[in-house]
Amino acid sequence: MVRATAKLEQDKARSTSAIRRSLRQTKRTPLTDAWSRLHHHAIQRALWLCKKRFVSVPAGRGSGKTELLKRRLVRCLPIPKPWGTPRYFYGAPTEAQAKRIAWNHFLQLIPKNWIHAIKTAELKIETVFGSELYVTGMDKPQRAEGIQWDGCGLDESCDLKPKVFELVVLPMLAHRLGWCWRIGVPKRFGPSATEFRKFHEGACSGQIPDAAGFTWASDDILSDEQLEYARRMMATLDYREQFGGVFVDAGGGVFHAFSESYNVRRVEYHHDQAIVVGSDFNVNPMAWVLGHRYKNRMEWFDEIYMEHTNTPATLRVLYERYKSHVGGFEFYGDATGQQNKSSAEQSDYNHIASDKRFHELGCSVHYPSINPPVSDRFAACNAMFCNVDDDCRMFVDPSCAHLIDDLRTRAYKPGTKEADDKQGRVRKIGHMTDAMGYPVFRLFPVDVELRGAGTQEITISVPGTN
């Protein structure tokens, strides 16, 4: 018994000695190869050295906020606590999202000799220091409830469930006076967008005790070359939100980049150029828009708006108007066009694809297997109406009265990202702009993947403390 106790003491001493040597070494050098040294940024450094319990970080995409959060969590792992088992977690709106963003990267950031056990099923890393690091989704907060935590980070804060910080996270930090970073892109919409904005404003103004707020734009970190495509492909408000690192007032207009002064003008019809047909398949109303696409431009010259009708009847109207057209037709719409929606016997797309008149004129039919998010469709249209560089790349002929009315009046429900398509009217609006949005999203998608952009942020060698 005495020998066993002595052996345990020796093992503990050797382990403690090894840990101390490891810590002395990592204060001077990066912990692993994943801790690459990059340029310094004053606001990021201030964030890293901040000792406040609660920190708010709304910052642009690709600007390094998530990287700094993950590194802070790792740096806290060897810090001893009186209770012997310090616990930390990284949280995102869903478990799949949290795992995708953080799990493998944590395994790269944490030195191998720090790790005691990796429990993939629980998304849990146990260290030789006795500390634990979890990756968890906040869609089911009970995963983290029931125990006390020393620190945590909540990513994509605008997309978390409402009140998850106040009702779930705060109580779990109370006994150990744990810390929390709330980070994310400062979005106009999202379940907790307003809550995150108020928290940030309160942290910056001193209204929230023991809190601080930090923000910076993506162009502080990323190069002009990396951001060039985003500036060209996004509307101004979307760019300021996603890359500017600022909260933008939501406003009511869905098509906020549309301007009658700039986007409504005479549009020429060309008989030898393909007609793009955007279709919203409804019996009441059936809404189709007709236009030409160019290399980097979309122009709408006509519309078909019919009540109490179906796809075959609308095709007859289209044919009678353009039966002499020689440039062919391209039909676009939503995924529901595959189903028996406006026509009982065939799907809407089958009606189009099987119409011999358009076979003779030349046609192609395009539809997605599933619909894209509505917000992505709206963003693609706004980017075409006017981007960050003030380039207008989509125009509407004054004769398209229903389309212009939709663009002018379609709005969001207050405080949401859901279009309010009744607005007190007997019939819903939004069909014409939906018809426009399907081909625009397909032909001119907003893809803001940063070209050549890796993770770029400050690397600071001092240990983080809470």
Q: What is the pLDDT of residues 271-284, one digit of tens each?
A: 999 999 999 887 67
Name the token pair of 427.
């019939």
Residue ranges in the chain modelled with pLDDT below 50: 1-2, 4-9, 11-16, 18-20, 22-23, 25-26, 340-345, 424-426, 450-466
Amino acid 436: pLDDT:
96
Which neighbouring-strand residues pair with 127? 115
Name the token pair of 351.
């009606």
Which neighbouring-strand residues pair with 125? 118, 133
Alpha-helical regions (H) of 308-451: 311-322, 348-353, 356-361, 374-385, 401-409, 431-443
Amino acid 459: pLDDT:
33
Q: Report, in angstroms and rounded to the nearest whole number, the Rg of the chain calculated over CA atoms.
A: 28
CA 413 to the chain's CA centroid: 20
Amino acid 10: pLDDT:
52
Amino acid present at 150: D
Name the token pair of 173.
């930090």
Query: How many other CB atoms sit within 10 Å of the CB of residue 233?
Result: 21
CB 334 within 8 A of CB 439: no
Say whether the peptide bond before residue 285 is cis (omega within 30 degrees of 0). yes
- Give the contacts of 146 (CB within 8 A, at least 6 positions apart): none
Domains and CATH numbers, the chain: 20-221 (3.40.50.300), 260-443 (3.30.420.280)
Amino acid 30: pLDDT:
67
Query: How many other CB atoms sit within 10 Å of the CB of residue 15?
Result: 12
For residue 351, the SS3 value is: helix
Q: Which of 440, 409, 224 is nearest to 332 (CA)?
A: 440
Query: How many other CB atoms sit within 10 Å of the CB of residue 396?
Result: 25
Angle at 275 between CA 273 and CA 278, to 5 degrees: 155
CB 346 within 8 A of CB 354: yes
User: pTM for this one?
Assistant: 0.62
Task: State the Cα–Cα distance between residues 289 and 277, nearest whole angstrom.
Answer: 6
Instruction: Return the H-helix or E-strand segment holding 105.
Output: helix 104-109
